[in-house]
Amino acid sequence: MQTHEPWWPHAPRHQLTEAGTFIVTAGTYRKLHHFRDRARLDVLQRGLLKLTAAAGWQIEAWAVFSNHYHFVAHSPADGAASLPAILRELHASTSRWINRLDSSEGRQVWHNYRETCLTYERAYLARLNYVHQNAVHHGLVPVANQYPWCSARWFEGAATPAQVRTIYDLKTDRVNVFDDWTVERGDWAG
């Protein structure tokens, strides 16, 4: 007799046995705005980029906010199994740091994460655009490259003008990315 694991919407399955390109989204517990200022956003962004690079992941787009983040990355050639450990370390270290700052030792900061393997080129390119433009989507800036905690400025400088146009011309209104957060401007807004 075959048994099936129940699927729980609050705890997505993480099926990471093969190499691939993924979009990853993680959010804070109860969508609280723990990363609401420059220093906190800097630490979260730096931790994300450092830990993924150290594990051999190649990030192509990222956006970090007061209560969630997204990134698109290629896993190492030997598979994506390192992703849970990367995110566990990122979430544990940033939780400890934030809780020390707020004198809230032991408080739960992070809730969960979702990853989706991108198997179609158009889906991959549209999600690159979605992540680059996410600060605009949330109303934080009028132009994506003005938001310091996303990849848009880096992308525009590293890619050819034709690549930038190709990515930015892709529609994202039908992209299915879990993103129901409201974000805070924090002290960084001018």
Q: Which residues of 105-120 are buried (b: 16+ CB within 10 A; e: fewer)?
A: eeeebbbebbbbbbee
**Is the distance from CB of 169 to CB of 130 less than 8 angstroms?**
no
Task: Read off the amino acid at residue 69.
Answer: Y
pLDDT tens-digit profile of 93-114?
A: 999 999 999 999 999 999 989 9
The whole-number pLDDT of residue 18 equals: 80
pLDDT tens-digit profile of 7-20?
A: 445 444 445 668 99
Q: What count of Cα atoms within 13 Å lies in the side-chain half-sphere of residue 133?
A: 17
CATH of domain 21-174: 3.30.70.1290
Domain ranges of the chain: 21-174
Strands (DSSP E) contained in the chain are: 21-28, 58-64, 68-74, 110-117
